A and B are shown apart, each in its own frame.
Chain A
Amino acid sequence: MGKIVAMTGNIAVANAMRQINPDVCAAYPITPSTEVMQQFSNFVADGKVDTELVTVESEHSAMSACIGSSAAGGRVMTATSANGLALMWEMLYIASGNRLPIAMMVINRALSAPINIHGDHSDEMGARDAGWIQMYSENGQEAYDNLIQAILIGESEGVLLPVMVGMDGFIISHSIENLSMLDDQQVKDFLGEYKPLHPLLNVNKPLTMGPLDLQDYYSEHKRQQTEAMELVKPAILKVAKDFAALSGRTYGFFETHRLDDAEMGIIALGSAAGTARHVVDGLREKGIKVGMLKLRVFRPFPSEELQQALGHLKSLAVMDRSESFGAAGGPVFSEVRSALYDLPTRPKTINYIYGLGGRDLGIANIEQVVADLQEINQTGKIKNLITHLTVRE
């Protein structure tokens, strides 16, 4: 039954991939995800996996090769970051449109320009309309756990969608932490054998994939994708339940911390959730009624569940580690505020854009956020709807 190991987020992810033992991996290196495929290619060279590793000349080709392999009927994985994900853009939509359950680790990193290799969510957030299931991880443990679960979520009956799992670049990818790894056999049994619904390589049942789809049927195929996203929610909960039975670790669409009796709330994704939890605990000792919610699943967006979890708050701060230029706030804020709109009474909700390009988010920063929420509760007025936190004037 598993063991406690100390490793970087990237090595944890590479080990998850080793235990998943996919049929095909096609990848191209980019910081900070390079270490994942570097370590995984060692596993291939050492005969620890049966994977066909396809080294390609760009991320566009990496995703293209993943699409071909998945269409053929294989269990397929890759990893990338930032500009690498951006170069995959065209193929992301083709993967989801062709209903191919590829699993991809995204080591979240800022997009150029100016060039920056450090952690923020601009890359994955930019791909939020690409039809992929999207998850975020707070630490190496969650990245490991999420990636293993991602395989079964994407392959679920009725779903058949690709999944990307995010983990903050450098902050998590290159930090060594303790985590609990399952046994190889446990992962193998948990995942079972992949049985593709419509494999191209089945010569006894020839089929066409990716045909021209014009005004007469394209809308129907997009409607199917919407339906598939609806079916992701029960799939996530089912896979999480089975995974909890195996690992003792529980997952849902999000995790709440001291939120039930809170008057103020903070929403964060990824590594910032750890800092927020620490601040919440400190302020609770001073009697300040604050709680937090860590969003794990961004696509499909759990609107109804968030309404239930957040509706009782007086005020709420949504932390966005990416900017949506010209929009009504960061991507998480826009969606959360939209979800809360239909409630008869709802918290006053504000947005903080923080940590772009790996800028550190400190304890004092989150304490300031809570101080702002306290002021809103006292005055009933929002002074700043959107604040660029940790940015010098």
Chain B
Amino acid sequence: MAWTRKILRVNLTEGSCKEEALNMQWANEYLGSRGLASKYLISEIDPKVDPLSPENKMIMATGPLTGTMASTGGRYTVVTKGPLTGAIACSNSGGFFGAEMKFAGWDMIIFEGKSPKPVYLFIENEKAELRDASHLWGKSCWETEETIKSQHQDPQIRISSIGLAGENQVLYACVVNDLHRAAGRSGVGAVMGSKNLKAVAIRGTRGVGNVKDFPAFMKATSDAKKVLHDNAVTGQGLPKYGTQVLMNVINEIGALPTRNHRDVQFEDASKISAEAMHEKRESDGKPHLVTNAACFGCTIACGRISEIDKGHFTVKNSPKYWGASGGLEYEAAWALGAANGVGDLEALQYANLICNEQGMDPISFGATVGAAMELYEMGILTSEMIGIESPFGSAEALAKMVEMTAVGEGFGKELGMGSKRLCTKYGHPELSMSVKGQEFPAYDSRGIQGMGLAYATSNRGACHLRGYTVASEVLGIPVKTDPLTTDGKPELVKAFQDATAVFDSAGICVFTSFAWTLADVQPQIEAACEGDWSMDKLNEVGERIWNMERQFNNAAGFTHKDDNLPPRLTTEPAKTGPAKGLVNGLDKMLPEYYKVRGWTPEGQPTPETVSRLGL
């Protein structure tokens, strides 16, 4: 049993911290992290609760492999009802915080209520207490982390916190740990801010000593690490080029959403790509990229650490941004770049640094900027309203908007609502490139058809990490399929969605799935966790988690009508590239997907499906 079997319940209204036993029956059915925390959340809150009210809860959870020898076993998840979407929110992060939570002896922390004043939770192994955070309120994630470590005279404390974006309840605020890793999507940081919870600081020294069969676990994790090492993607490509290697590929196949999805190819894609990050700059002769980086226990090390051009207009008077720091990863580079038509790599890194510093999801922020720029080009927004001329491609506008949004000033308050609310306010809801209120990531579903279905049915709104069919449709992992056809995509999307739920719930990184299948993960879980963890059971657990999340969203008021895409993607054909003339064929895929899922034509799990999965 790799679970610690202990939960910490923190009632912020009362100011209390209480230990509870983990529900082991639920652990047996939902594994951990995403699945298990979602089970707790759904069992404890009204699905129609206001996400930013004290009645909503927020859970930080590890999985059974978190903190263990399993490669990438450093993940933790923040689960809550999301303010951006009103759907279940489940954001996953790497770094070192998750493993530290496990080392302190906790599977999960459940936050409920709302503190009357700003507080932070300090955990030192079994001791847990809420402390005053009035001196931290108003500080960035970076300042908060530094202050807490300094205050406790312990640089090894691991911290998750919110910045000004979370305090101001930017609806896509994230929770940042270890300076530049984040539970990034769906606005989990806004929920934390609504509870007056500034940070969680943990020091754990207990290790993870409760693995079921340690020799078998050592063998299973060692075998699996060899698979990662020997695989060209996880052993070579990701460490050297990171996720950013996708920029040119996705552009080449005509699926790089550009200028708020007006176009599917970006003429400056090569300037903001992984290859460009390796090139020496003309200004100072140094490459943008400094090195790669790994999260706890990771043997892939895909993270990017870069150094911005000190002479760039964004930072020439701000030395605090001159040091090496996190980014750019592909999603951020796309959202801050191609989505707005900005081809200035340094400007993108500046915006990315602000997102890390103040805790904002760069995907939703960048996509919202793209929507604002389109409204500006249509003459609906003006430079007087925004505070700067904001045509597509303006690095100056991007820099100004990220500064305004992070601190909640001027037009930044409107950008902080996300693209759906912004576009609706100005009379053009159709220009929000989102599903269920959450903005798309970096793949245009006219050029990658399966992703349209994956976005439309994602339980947390548009997202690539719930069913990454790009792996198959573009990259040939595990097998190559045609990105331009809808044939076979319902089955493919379901398979990716269910398998990903298992990876997430185990406490490992989904990037291992570029080399591992569930058959590589199963022996690790089997050796770590008590009980039967066969392949059949893991497949069932993944499907159960997906259906449970769906049931919550249905109870929250979502229907099959919300499994939709903006009309731009279903009525405006791609203008260039291999998908030229194509729109997304969601109408062909969705009915078949419901059948494959065992759902009614209205998108409700049938009684047979509910019974089969024990929901």
**Chain A partners chain B:** no
Q: Give A residues with C-beta under 8 Å from B.
A: none
Q: Give B residues with C-beta under 8 Å from A.
A: none
